[in-house]
Amino acid sequence: MLYLILGIITTAFAVVGVAVWAYGISRMVRVLGVGRPVEAARKADFGRRITNTLIETVGHTRMLKWRWIGIAHWFIMVSFPALVFTVAEAHGEVWDPHFHLPLIHDWTVYGLFIEVIATLSLVGIVGLTIYRQLRGPRVLGRRSKFANSRHWTAYYVEAYIIALLVAIFVIRGVKVALGEFPFPVWATPVSHAFGAVLPASEPLLASVAAFKLVISWLFFIAIGVFLTMGVAWHRFTAPVNIYFKRNADGSAALGPAKQMLDKDGEPLDFEEADPDEDPFGVGKIEDFTWKGLLDFTTCTECGRCQSQCPAWNTGKPLSPKKLVMDLREHAYAKAPYLMQGITEETPDVHEDVLALLSRPLVGTEEENGVIHPDVLWSCTNCGACVEQCPVDIEHIDHILDMRRYQVMIESSFPSEANTLLKNLENKGNPWGMSESKRMDWISEVDFEVPVVEDKLPEGTEYLFWVGCAGALEDRAKKTTKAVAELLHIAGVKYAVLGGMEMCTGDSARRLGMEFVFQMLAQQNIETLNEVGATKIVVTCPHCFNTLGNEYPALGGNYEVVHHTKLLAQLVKEGRLAPIERVDKNVTYHDPCFLGRHNKVYEPPRELITGVPGVTKAEMPRNRERSFCCGAGGARMWMEERIGKRINVERVEEALATKPDLIATGCPFCQVMVSDAVNEKKSKQEAPESVEVMDVAQLLLQSAKKGGEQAKETV
């Protein structure tokens, strides 16, 4: 009778569990369908996409960036499909404790496989549970990556996995006690250890098998009901989310900003766009693409993005994790009404429903906004969140889409940025200076700098794109002159555009003003194509990223190289020879748009270590985990009023290495780091001798004489 009751109960749970889970999937698909179409590219390249999906999931490439956590999670992930065999066996054991799977029930390889996976999964989940307790917000407060997570869902999933794995060993242990366990001790030591202390009880075996099945199907019922339980759903949605990521080659959605799409998912043409039909950014949750909604659904609340975010780490309200979670909750609350065709205009709508439907996506507490403006405008576009996310959520794309709506439709953005936009529109540079000022730096050098008049001079190897900062900002001008002199010493034939050069539009685009970006981009592309530019060298990573990654979509295809990479190549070729000693302790700050966005990490370091006398010390946060200077995402032009200044946080880390020189490869970084160093000096918290300069300036100190000697030898 006991076995009959257990069999009926577990079969009923299985039927209900499968039905509720399947219904949950159908509801989720319908919610995702509320979003707009994605660009066609996300549906192309099946081979590369499926290969990358397998590499990221089975290979756990992103999870393993956090080594032991990644290893533990891998075994837990593998256990989910691997232990299906034990669930199938349990459905027989509740009816008959002597039941066993056909064919493989006494195969030692099978017994060893289950033993290893279950043991290491149990160790892994217990370790992760303890880690959550030791590193949780109750201990670390805001510094915990689990801050802002919904803890009950994580505890439920952890408890379920632990209970399931323990049940597996109890069942196997009882079989050992009954003398019906066919596997040797050497292959299944944990199971035999359980068997040594458990009674030889058939009712116990059937009861534990029933318990195992009930908690398993309850798990499927729970997630079928709670569609926003990302910590559970990600095991199903993550592979799909990874497959449809923006870049088919598997790289993170960094580099180029996401293109604006029309209502059909095609790139938006401003000359033909209709604001009443085509979404200018995202103003409502349904303006996101279905892939955006899938991003929100897939969030595991692990907090890696939050732990790396410079805004969150300096006391600002932006948590990439919480932003995604808030959007997810709003999407799943609003979508059911949208699917029924209920809108704000529908008559006789209940007040609570009307409040939900009319809730602004971006707004203050008084406005009942889903995302606070301070959250939206705290982002520096540094890319740390996207780089770290194990399920490939594209945080920056979503932030940028919301900014676009706020700027182009609502005209709601930080007041300082208004000056930036006016200067870009009227003068073609953020400072609002006349185009003639772009050539002032040339008069400050004692060698010839060729300026393009109509076409690049014959034999020109590179067009030197100076950039707004490089031409107009005093500290960046020193980098420009250093690079120009190094190219001159190396005998590289180059030319500059002078007054014909305009801002690439990076700050306008990252602010959300796509119209101004495209206006500037089209003018620059026209100029570059007219002069015959094919190879371009730049000193600014923002220009480097925009020219190389974003202009191709608008018809500007060029080979773009950052100056650190070109200079490193010239040193390797012997065209530059750093031979003068520079006895300094140097630490290098990775610019976000050079490092994370474009994976240029080694050339600047090669230049630094190649200078005789230099001692290089790395900051704890370097390369892909480098900490932002605070200037990206158009933050260069906005005041930082909340929390600690990001550049101060970064400089404190740099000063801890006891440097004589903080080197970088970006004019924005140079300005931000210099400002923070000067602030520290004024408070007597940094030695007066500490300098901040571009890698090119350091190289010039050593290579000036060496280059002249190399030229004489040739």
Q: For 344-384, how does the pLDDT look when each residue is reduced to its tens digit (9 = 90+)? A: 888 888 888 888 999 999 999 999 999 999 999 999 999 99
Tokens 């015959």, residue?
A: 532
pLDDT for 628-647, tens place per residue?
A: 999 999 999 999 999 999 99
Segment 312-332 shows an average pLDDT of 97
Instruction: Using alpha carbons, select from 180, 260, 212 the residue that is nearest to residue 89.
Output: 212
Cα distance between residue 175 and residue 62, in whole Å: 39
Q: List helix spans (H) across 227-350.
A: 230-243, 290-298, 304-308, 310-313, 320-339
Is the model's pLDDT at 549 over the cut of 50?
A: yes
Instruction: Find the distance separating the first CA and the last CA of the chain, reported in whole Å.
Output: 98
Q: Give the model's confidence band at 117: pLDDT under 50 very low, under 70 low, under 90 confident, else very high.
A: very high
Predicted confidence at residue 708, as pLDDT, reads 52
Residue with the bigger pLDDT between 435 and 653: it is 653
Asked if pLDDT for residue 282 goes beyond 60, the answer is yes
Q: What is the pLDDT of residues 122-163, one digit of tens each?
A: 999 999 999 999 999 999 999 999 999 999 999 999 999 999
Answer yes or no: is pLDDT of 714 > 50. Answer: no
pLDDT band at 277; cut points 50, 70, 90: confident
Flag the least confident range among 233-247, 261-275, 426-440. Answer: 261-275
Q: Cβ contacts of residue 103 below 8 Å, gap of 6+?
A: none
Question: CA of 466: how far to CAs of 145, 455, 650, in Å?
Answer: 40, 17, 26
Q: What is the average pLDDT score of the chain?
A: 93
Question: What's the whole-number mean pLDDT along residues 78-86?
Answer: 90
- For the segment 55-78, the average pLDDT, to the nearest whole number, is 90
Q: How far apart are CA 556 and CA 562, in angstroms?
A: 17
The confidence band for 712, taking pLDDT boundaries of 50, 70 and 90, is very low
Residue 448: CB atoms within 10 Å: 9
Contact 543, 476 (CB under 8 A): no
Threshold 0.85, pTM exceeds: yes
Give me the mean pLDDT over the 50-72 stretch: 90
Q: In this structure, what DSSP letter does residue 549 have? A: I
Per-residue pLDDT for 109 more than 50? Answer: yes
Q: Which amino acid is at 160?
A: Y
